[in-house]
A and B are shown apart, each in its own frame.
Chain A
Amino acid sequence: MTIKIRLARFGRRNAPFYNIVVAHARTARNSKPLEVIGTYDPIPKADPYDDSGRLHKDIKLDTLRAKYWIGVGAQPTDTMWRLLSMVGIMHPKYRDQKPRTAPPLPADIQKPEAASPST
Protein backbone atom coordinates (compact mmCIF):
# COMPACT_ATOMS: atom_id res chain seq x y z
CA MET A 1 0.00 0.00 0.00
CA THR A 2 1.24 3.43 -0.87
CA ILE A 3 2.67 5.50 1.91
CA LYS A 4 2.33 9.27 1.65
CA ILE A 5 3.97 12.22 3.30
CA ARG A 6 1.13 14.69 3.50
CA LEU A 7 -0.55 17.37 5.57
CA ALA A 8 -3.31 16.78 8.10
CA ARG A 9 -5.41 19.84 8.83
CA PHE A 10 -5.77 20.93 12.44
CA GLY A 11 -6.36 24.39 13.85
CA ARG A 12 -9.63 26.27 13.75
CA ARG A 13 -11.96 27.77 11.22
CA ASN A 14 -10.00 30.39 9.26
CA ALA A 15 -6.90 29.47 11.24
CA PRO A 16 -5.45 26.37 9.61
CA PHE A 17 -2.53 24.53 11.07
CA TYR A 18 -1.12 21.34 9.62
CA ASN A 19 0.65 18.31 10.98
CA ILE A 20 3.16 16.87 8.54
CA VAL A 21 2.34 13.17 8.70
CA VAL A 22 3.40 9.88 7.22
CA ALA A 23 0.29 7.81 6.53
CA HIS A 24 -1.17 5.14 4.29
CA ALA A 25 -2.53 6.79 1.16
CA ARG A 26 -6.05 5.43 1.50
CA THR A 27 -6.69 6.50 5.06
CA ALA A 28 -8.72 9.57 5.94
CA ARG A 29 -7.02 12.93 6.13
CA ASN A 30 -7.12 13.30 9.91
CA SER A 31 -6.99 9.63 10.87
CA LYS A 32 -4.18 8.53 13.11
CA PRO A 33 -1.04 8.46 10.98
CA LEU A 34 1.97 6.18 11.12
CA GLU A 35 4.04 9.07 12.34
CA VAL A 36 3.94 12.84 12.81
CA ILE A 37 7.22 14.28 11.55
CA GLY A 38 6.51 17.99 11.80
CA THR A 39 4.10 20.88 11.53
CA TYR A 40 3.34 23.56 8.95
CA ASP A 41 1.79 26.88 9.88
CA PRO A 42 0.52 28.35 6.60
CA ILE A 43 -0.42 31.73 8.04
CA PRO A 44 2.37 34.21 7.32
CA LYS A 45 3.54 36.13 10.35
CA ALA A 46 5.70 39.18 10.94
CA ASP A 47 8.56 39.23 13.39
CA PRO A 48 7.86 41.17 16.58
CA TYR A 49 9.06 44.79 16.35
CA ASP A 50 9.57 44.43 12.59
CA ASP A 51 7.51 46.85 10.50
CA SER A 52 9.26 46.19 7.18
CA GLY A 53 6.24 44.22 5.98
CA ARG A 54 8.29 41.06 5.44
CA LEU A 55 6.43 37.94 6.53
CA HIS A 56 7.56 34.43 7.34
CA LYS A 57 6.04 30.99 7.69
CA ASP A 58 7.09 28.55 10.38
CA ILE A 59 7.70 24.91 9.64
CA LYS A 60 8.92 22.28 12.05
CA LEU A 61 10.37 19.22 10.44
CA ASP A 62 12.30 16.15 11.52
CA THR A 63 14.50 15.96 8.42
CA LEU A 64 16.06 12.65 9.44
CA ARG A 65 12.70 10.90 9.55
CA ALA A 66 11.62 12.64 6.33
CA LYS A 67 14.71 11.36 4.55
CA TYR A 68 14.15 7.87 5.93
CA TRP A 69 10.56 7.73 4.71
CA ILE A 70 11.54 9.07 1.26
CA GLY A 71 14.27 6.42 1.19
CA VAL A 72 11.78 3.61 1.76
CA GLY A 73 9.44 4.83 -0.94
CA ALA A 74 7.03 7.23 0.69
CA GLN A 75 5.49 9.67 -1.80
CA PRO A 76 5.16 13.30 -0.82
CA THR A 77 2.12 15.21 -1.99
CA ASP A 78 2.72 18.27 -4.19
CA THR A 79 2.63 20.64 -1.24
CA MET A 80 4.98 18.49 0.78
CA TRP A 81 7.20 18.02 -2.26
CA ARG A 82 7.52 21.81 -2.50
CA LEU A 83 8.43 22.11 1.18
CA LEU A 84 10.84 19.17 1.12
CA SER A 85 12.55 20.54 -1.98
CA MET A 86 13.25 23.76 -0.09
CA VAL A 87 15.45 21.92 2.41
CA GLY A 88 17.02 19.77 -0.30
CA ILE A 89 15.35 16.46 0.51
CA MET A 90 13.61 16.28 -2.91
CA HIS A 91 14.48 17.74 -6.29
CA PRO A 92 12.07 20.54 -7.17
CA LYS A 93 9.06 19.13 -9.01
CA TYR A 94 7.90 22.28 -10.67
CA ARG A 95 10.73 24.43 -11.95
CA ASP A 96 9.95 27.91 -13.18
CA GLN A 97 8.08 27.68 -16.44
CA LYS A 98 9.83 30.46 -18.36
CA PRO A 99 10.93 29.47 -21.91
CA ARG A 100 14.55 28.56 -21.87
CA THR A 101 17.12 29.94 -24.28
CA ALA A 102 20.26 28.03 -25.05
CA PRO A 103 23.41 29.45 -23.52
CA PRO A 104 25.62 31.38 -25.94
CA LEU A 105 28.25 29.32 -27.71
CA PRO A 106 31.92 29.83 -26.92
CA ALA A 107 33.54 32.56 -28.98
CA ASP A 108 35.95 30.27 -30.86
CA ILE A 109 33.07 28.18 -32.19
CA GLN A 110 30.99 31.23 -33.19
CA LYS A 111 33.80 32.86 -35.19
CA PRO A 112 34.37 30.22 -37.91
CA GLU A 113 30.60 30.18 -38.62
CA ALA A 114 30.51 33.94 -39.05
CA ALA A 115 33.71 33.86 -41.10
CA SER A 116 32.68 30.97 -43.44
CA PRO A 117 30.27 32.89 -45.82
CA SER A 118 32.92 35.53 -46.57
CA THR A 119 35.59 33.00 -47.55
Chain B
Amino acid sequence: MPPRIPTNPSASSASALVRNSFASPCTSQSLPGGRAGFSTTPIRERSTNLRRAFLEWTRKVASHYRRPNSEGPSYLINGRPSPASRNRLRPFPLNRNFQSESVLNDQARELIWGKVMRKGESLKAVSAELGVDLTRVAAVVRLKEVEKDWVSKGKKLATPYSRAVLGMLPTKSLREGVENQPLEPINELHIHAATQKQLFWPTSESRQFTREDAAKAFHPKMLSADERVPHPELIQMEKDLLRNMSPNEARTRFINAAEESERKAAQRQMKKAMAEEQATTKINTPRFEFRFREVDSELVGKNGRAPNVVGWKYGMPHYDRKKGMVKIPTSVP
Protein backbone atom coordinates (compact mmCIF):
# COMPACT_ATOMS: atom_id res chain seq x y z
CA MET B 1 0.00 0.00 0.00
CA PRO B 2 1.42 3.41 -0.96
CA PRO B 3 2.02 6.01 1.79
CA ARG B 4 -0.69 8.57 2.24
CA ILE B 5 -0.86 12.17 3.43
CA PRO B 6 -2.29 12.09 6.93
CA THR B 7 -5.62 13.74 7.06
CA ASN B 8 -5.25 15.45 10.47
CA PRO B 9 -7.57 18.43 10.92
CA SER B 10 -5.13 20.24 13.33
CA ALA B 11 -2.23 20.23 10.80
CA SER B 12 -2.46 22.93 8.09
CA SER B 13 -2.12 22.04 4.45
CA ALA B 14 1.22 22.13 2.60
CA SER B 15 0.40 25.37 0.80
CA ALA B 16 -0.49 27.11 4.04
CA LEU B 17 2.87 26.02 5.57
CA VAL B 18 4.79 27.54 2.68
CA ARG B 19 2.89 30.80 2.89
CA ASN B 20 3.52 31.11 6.62
CA SER B 21 7.30 30.59 6.33
CA PHE B 22 7.60 33.48 3.88
CA ALA B 23 5.32 35.80 5.73
CA SER B 24 6.73 35.40 9.26
CA PRO B 25 10.04 37.46 9.00
CA CYS B 26 8.17 40.50 7.76
CA THR B 27 5.92 40.71 10.75
CA SER B 28 7.59 42.54 13.62
CA GLN B 29 5.48 40.83 16.23
CA SER B 30 6.85 37.41 15.40
CA LEU B 31 10.52 38.21 16.38
CA PRO B 32 11.60 37.81 20.00
CA GLY B 33 12.80 40.94 21.77
CA GLY B 34 10.76 43.29 19.66
CA ARG B 35 13.63 44.20 17.25
CA ALA B 36 12.31 45.24 13.90
CA GLY B 37 14.28 45.15 10.66
CA PHE B 38 12.65 48.21 9.20
CA SER B 39 11.80 50.07 12.34
CA THR B 40 12.71 53.76 12.48
CA THR B 41 12.52 54.06 16.24
CA PRO B 42 16.02 54.54 17.78
CA ILE B 43 17.56 51.77 19.88
CA ARG B 44 16.96 52.32 23.54
CA GLU B 45 19.96 53.84 25.40
CA ARG B 46 21.17 51.07 27.64
CA SER B 47 23.51 51.81 30.47
CA THR B 48 24.77 48.50 31.78
CA ASN B 49 26.48 48.08 35.11
CA LEU B 50 29.78 47.40 33.38
CA ARG B 51 29.59 50.54 31.31
CA ARG B 52 28.66 52.61 34.33
CA ALA B 53 31.62 51.16 36.25
CA PHE B 54 33.96 51.88 33.38
CA LEU B 55 32.88 55.51 33.14
CA GLU B 56 33.30 55.91 36.85
CA TRP B 57 36.76 54.33 36.65
CA THR B 58 37.87 56.73 33.90
CA ARG B 59 36.64 59.65 36.04
CA LYS B 60 38.31 58.59 39.27
CA VAL B 61 41.25 56.18 38.97
CA ALA B 62 42.39 56.67 35.41
CA SER B 63 41.90 60.42 35.16
CA HIS B 64 45.53 61.31 35.74
CA TYR B 65 46.74 58.68 33.29
CA ARG B 66 45.07 60.33 30.32
CA ARG B 67 48.15 62.41 29.66
CA PRO B 68 51.63 60.83 29.24
CA ASN B 69 53.87 61.03 32.26
CA SER B 70 57.26 62.70 32.05
CA GLU B 71 58.83 60.01 34.23
CA GLY B 72 58.07 57.22 31.77
CA PRO B 73 55.28 55.09 30.46
CA SER B 74 52.51 54.09 32.86
CA TYR B 75 50.79 50.81 32.09
CA LEU B 76 47.62 49.22 33.43
CA ILE B 77 48.33 46.05 35.36
CA ASN B 78 45.30 44.10 36.65
CA GLY B 79 43.08 47.07 35.90
CA ARG B 80 45.18 49.32 38.10
CA PRO B 81 47.64 51.77 36.55
CA SER B 82 51.12 51.01 37.77
CA PRO B 83 53.24 53.92 38.96
CA ALA B 84 55.65 55.29 36.39
CA SER B 85 58.63 54.92 38.73
CA ARG B 86 58.14 51.16 38.86
CA ASN B 87 58.17 51.00 35.07
CA ARG B 88 61.33 53.02 34.80
CA LEU B 89 63.71 50.09 34.45
CA ARG B 90 61.15 47.76 32.88
CA PRO B 91 59.51 49.71 30.08
CA PHE B 92 57.53 46.76 28.67
CA PRO B 93 55.58 45.19 31.56
CA LEU B 94 54.58 42.11 29.59
CA ASN B 95 58.21 41.36 28.81
CA ARG B 96 59.54 40.73 32.31
CA ASN B 97 62.95 39.78 30.94
CA PHE B 98 63.65 43.16 29.44
CA GLN B 99 65.16 45.34 32.12
CA SER B 100 66.89 48.41 30.85
CA GLU B 101 69.54 50.33 32.63
CA SER B 102 69.61 54.07 32.12
CA VAL B 103 71.03 55.17 28.79
CA LEU B 104 72.71 58.47 28.05
CA ASN B 105 70.44 60.98 26.37
CA ASP B 106 71.54 63.03 23.40
CA GLN B 107 72.52 66.06 25.41
CA ALA B 108 74.79 63.92 27.63
CA ARG B 109 76.42 62.32 24.60
CA GLU B 110 76.95 65.74 23.05
CA LEU B 111 78.56 66.89 26.29
CA ILE B 112 80.98 63.94 26.28
CA TRP B 113 81.86 64.53 22.63
CA GLY B 114 82.48 68.24 23.26
CA LYS B 115 84.73 67.53 26.22
CA VAL B 116 86.86 65.05 24.29
CA MET B 117 86.91 66.54 20.80
CA ARG B 118 86.52 70.27 21.40
CA LYS B 119 88.27 70.78 24.74
CA GLY B 120 90.77 67.98 24.20
CA GLU B 121 90.29 66.40 27.62
CA SER B 122 91.56 62.85 28.01
CA LEU B 123 89.06 59.99 27.88
CA LYS B 124 90.04 58.85 31.35
CA ALA B 125 89.48 62.29 32.85
CA VAL B 126 86.05 62.59 31.20
CA SER B 127 85.13 59.09 32.31
CA ALA B 128 86.14 59.79 35.90
CA GLU B 129 84.45 63.18 36.01
CA LEU B 130 81.08 62.08 34.62
CA GLY B 131 81.00 58.56 36.02
CA VAL B 132 80.68 56.91 32.61
CA ASP B 133 82.65 53.79 31.75
CA LEU B 134 85.84 54.37 29.77
CA THR B 135 84.79 52.15 26.87
CA ARG B 136 81.39 53.85 26.77
CA VAL B 137 83.04 57.26 26.56
CA ALA B 138 85.13 56.05 23.63
CA ALA B 139 82.08 54.55 21.94
CA VAL B 140 80.04 57.72 22.40
CA VAL B 141 82.81 59.80 20.82
CA ARG B 142 83.13 57.40 17.90
CA LEU B 143 79.39 57.28 17.22
CA LYS B 144 79.02 61.05 17.57
CA GLU B 145 81.78 61.45 15.00
CA VAL B 146 79.87 59.17 12.62
CA GLU B 147 76.68 61.14 13.26
CA LYS B 148 78.35 64.48 12.59
CA ASP B 149 79.96 63.08 9.49
CA TRP B 150 76.53 62.02 8.23
CA VAL B 151 75.04 65.40 9.02
CA SER B 152 77.84 67.16 7.13
CA LYS B 153 77.27 64.87 4.15
CA GLY B 154 73.54 65.58 4.23
CA LYS B 155 72.65 61.99 5.06
CA LYS B 156 69.26 61.58 6.67
CA LEU B 157 69.24 60.55 10.34
CA ALA B 158 66.62 58.29 11.92
CA THR B 159 65.76 60.96 14.47
CA PRO B 160 62.11 59.95 15.06
CA TYR B 161 63.22 56.39 15.74
CA SER B 162 65.90 57.53 18.15
CA ARG B 163 63.43 59.82 19.91
CA ALA B 164 60.89 57.02 20.21
CA VAL B 165 63.40 54.56 21.65
CA LEU B 166 64.83 57.09 24.08
CA GLY B 167 61.26 58.00 25.06
CA MET B 168 60.62 54.42 26.15
CA LEU B 169 63.89 53.81 27.98
CA PRO B 170 65.07 55.41 31.19
CA THR B 171 67.56 58.10 30.25
CA LYS B 172 70.40 59.75 32.09
CA SER B 173 71.28 63.38 31.62
CA LEU B 174 74.62 64.91 32.56
CA ARG B 175 75.32 68.52 33.36
CA GLU B 176 78.54 70.38 33.04
CA GLY B 177 80.19 72.08 35.97
CA VAL B 178 78.29 70.22 38.67
CA GLU B 179 78.88 66.92 40.40
CA ASN B 180 76.86 64.36 38.44
CA GLN B 181 75.42 61.18 39.88
CA PRO B 182 77.60 58.50 38.22
CA LEU B 183 75.92 56.46 35.48
CA GLU B 184 77.74 53.27 36.38
CA PRO B 185 80.74 52.04 38.36
CA ILE B 186 83.80 52.96 36.30
CA ASN B 187 86.68 51.21 38.01
CA GLU B 188 85.53 47.61 37.81
CA LEU B 189 88.18 44.95 37.58
CA HIS B 190 87.68 42.80 34.50
CA ILE B 191 88.01 39.09 35.13
CA HIS B 192 91.28 37.74 33.80
CA ALA B 193 91.22 34.15 32.55
CA ALA B 194 94.35 33.35 34.53
CA THR B 195 92.60 34.24 37.80
CA GLN B 196 89.76 31.80 37.31
CA LYS B 197 91.63 28.76 38.50
CA GLN B 198 91.66 27.59 42.09
CA LEU B 199 94.98 28.03 43.74
CA PHE B 200 96.49 26.57 46.87
CA TRP B 201 99.40 28.82 47.74
CA PRO B 202 100.85 28.30 51.21
CA THR B 203 102.70 31.26 52.65
CA SER B 204 104.00 31.92 56.10
CA GLU B 205 101.80 33.96 58.39
CA SER B 206 104.59 36.40 59.12
CA ARG B 207 104.93 37.31 55.48
CA GLN B 208 103.06 40.22 53.94
CA PHE B 209 101.04 38.86 51.02
CA THR B 210 100.10 41.82 48.83
CA ARG B 211 98.07 42.10 45.64
CA GLU B 212 101.30 42.02 43.66
CA ASP B 213 102.13 38.66 45.26
CA ALA B 214 98.65 37.36 44.51
CA ALA B 215 99.02 38.35 40.85
CA LYS B 216 102.42 36.64 40.69
CA ALA B 217 100.91 33.53 42.20
CA PHE B 218 98.43 33.33 39.32
CA HIS B 219 100.89 34.10 36.57
CA PRO B 220 104.50 35.37 36.64
CA LYS B 221 103.72 38.13 34.13
CA MET B 222 100.41 39.21 35.62
CA LEU B 223 99.91 42.75 36.88
CA SER B 224 98.31 43.37 40.24
CA ALA B 225 94.64 44.24 40.47
CA ASP B 226 95.53 47.86 41.23
CA GLU B 227 97.24 48.17 37.87
CA ARG B 228 94.71 46.21 35.86
CA VAL B 229 91.69 48.41 36.66
CA PRO B 230 90.71 50.97 34.00
CA HIS B 231 91.70 53.93 36.20
CA PRO B 232 94.79 53.14 38.27
CA GLU B 233 95.27 56.92 38.46
CA LEU B 234 92.14 57.19 40.62
CA ILE B 235 93.73 54.89 43.18
CA GLN B 236 96.78 57.13 43.23
CA MET B 237 94.53 60.14 43.69
CA GLU B 238 92.87 58.56 46.71
CA LYS B 239 96.30 57.76 48.15
CA ASP B 240 97.30 61.39 47.62
CA LEU B 241 94.18 62.58 49.40
CA LEU B 242 94.95 60.26 52.32
CA ARG B 243 98.37 61.88 52.49
CA ASN B 244 96.60 65.20 53.15
CA MET B 245 97.21 66.59 49.71
CA SER B 246 94.79 69.35 48.79
CA PRO B 247 91.89 68.10 46.63
CA ASN B 248 92.70 70.56 43.88
CA GLU B 249 96.28 69.43 43.65
CA ALA B 250 95.30 65.76 43.73
CA ARG B 251 92.83 66.42 40.94
CA THR B 252 95.43 68.17 38.81
CA ARG B 253 97.83 65.31 39.35
CA PHE B 254 95.15 62.84 38.35
CA ILE B 255 94.38 64.73 35.14
CA ASN B 256 98.07 64.94 34.27
CA ALA B 257 98.59 61.24 34.97
CA ALA B 258 95.57 60.34 32.82
CA GLU B 259 96.89 62.44 29.96
CA GLU B 260 100.32 60.91 30.33
CA SER B 261 98.97 57.36 30.25
CA GLU B 262 96.94 58.15 27.13
CA ARG B 263 99.94 59.73 25.47
CA LYS B 264 101.97 56.62 26.21
CA ALA B 265 99.25 54.38 24.79
CA ALA B 266 99.12 56.47 21.62
CA GLN B 267 102.89 56.30 21.35
CA ARG B 268 102.82 52.54 21.71
CA GLN B 269 100.22 52.30 18.96
CA MET B 270 102.25 54.59 16.71
CA LYS B 271 105.37 52.54 17.29
CA LYS B 272 103.54 49.37 16.36
CA ALA B 273 102.20 50.95 13.16
CA MET B 274 105.68 52.22 12.29
CA ALA B 275 107.20 48.76 12.78
CA GLU B 276 104.47 47.29 10.59
CA GLU B 277 105.17 49.93 7.93
CA GLN B 278 108.87 49.21 8.15
CA ALA B 279 108.41 45.52 7.51
CA THR B 280 106.12 46.08 4.54
CA THR B 281 107.26 46.76 0.97
CA LYS B 282 104.57 48.43 -1.11
CA ILE B 283 104.69 47.97 -4.89
CA ASN B 284 102.27 50.06 -6.88
CA THR B 285 100.85 48.70 -10.10
CA PRO B 286 98.15 50.40 -12.17
CA ARG B 287 95.47 48.12 -10.76
CA PHE B 288 96.50 47.15 -7.25
CA GLU B 289 99.04 47.84 -4.61
CA PHE B 290 101.00 44.74 -3.65
CA ARG B 291 102.06 44.70 -0.02
CA PHE B 292 104.90 42.38 0.77
CA ARG B 293 105.18 41.69 4.49
CA GLU B 294 108.48 40.19 5.58
CA VAL B 295 108.01 37.06 7.69
CA ASP B 296 110.26 34.44 9.19
CA SER B 297 109.18 31.04 7.89
CA GLU B 298 111.53 29.22 10.22
CA LEU B 299 109.63 30.08 13.40
CA VAL B 300 107.71 26.84 13.39
CA GLY B 301 108.14 25.72 16.96
CA LYS B 302 109.54 22.50 18.34
CA ASN B 303 107.38 20.15 16.31
CA GLY B 304 106.72 22.47 13.35
CA ARG B 305 103.16 23.04 14.50
CA ALA B 306 103.38 26.36 16.30
CA PRO B 307 100.08 28.27 16.15
CA ASN B 308 101.52 31.30 14.37
CA VAL B 309 103.35 29.49 11.58
CA VAL B 310 103.10 31.29 8.24
CA GLY B 311 100.44 29.93 5.89
CA TRP B 312 97.69 27.37 6.17
CA LYS B 313 98.74 24.18 7.84
CA TYR B 314 98.96 20.68 6.45
CA GLY B 315 97.17 17.80 8.10
CA MET B 316 95.29 19.99 10.54
CA PRO B 317 91.58 20.70 10.24
CA HIS B 318 90.65 24.33 9.87
CA TYR B 319 87.88 25.07 12.31
CA ASP B 320 86.80 28.40 10.84
CA ARG B 321 83.32 27.16 9.89
CA LYS B 322 82.72 24.98 12.91
CA LYS B 323 79.64 25.50 15.01
CA GLY B 324 80.34 27.80 17.90
CA MET B 325 83.27 29.58 16.26
CA VAL B 326 82.97 33.36 16.19
CA LYS B 327 82.60 34.32 12.53
CA ILE B 328 81.91 38.00 12.87
CA PRO B 329 84.69 40.54 13.41
CA THR B 330 85.34 41.11 17.09
CA SER B 331 87.36 44.30 16.90
CA VAL B 332 87.31 47.69 15.23
CA PRO B 333 90.11 48.01 12.64
The interface bits of chain A over 73-90 (1 if a CB of B lies within 8 angstroms of the residue's CB, else 0) are 000000000010011000
Bound CA–CA A86/B312 (angstroms)? 23
Contact B288 A62 (CB under 8 A): no
With A38-B311, A39-B310 given, is the CB distance from A59 to B294 under 8 Å?
no
Contact of B311 among A39, A49, A56, A87 (CB under 8 A): A39
Distance in angstroms from A82 CB to nearest chain B CB is 10
Contact B294 A61 (CB under 8 A): yes
Contact A61 B333 (CB under 8 A): no
Contact B295 A61 (CB under 8 A): yes
**How many residues of chain B have a CB within 8 Å of chain A?**
22
Q: Interface size class for chain A?
A: 20 to 34
With A39-B310, A60-B310 given, is the CB distance from A44 to B294 under 8 Å?
no
Contact B293 A62 (CB under 8 A): no
Chain B residues in 8 Å Cβ range of A54:
289
The reply on B297 being an interface residue by CB < 8 A is yes
Contact A87 B291 (CB under 8 A): no
Contact A10 B290 (CB under 8 A): no
Contact A62 B297 (CB under 8 A): yes
Contact A57 B312 (CB under 8 A): no
Q: Which of A34-70 contact B (CB under 8 A)?
A: 35-39, 44, 48-49, 54-63, 65
Bound CA–CA A86/B290 (angstroms)? 9
Residues of chain B whose beta carbon lies under 8 Å from any beta carbon of chain A? 281-283, 287-298, 309-312, 314-315, 333
4 extra interface residue pairs, beta carbon distance < 8 Å, beyond A20-B311, A61-B294:
A10-B312, A36-B297, A55-B287, A63-B294
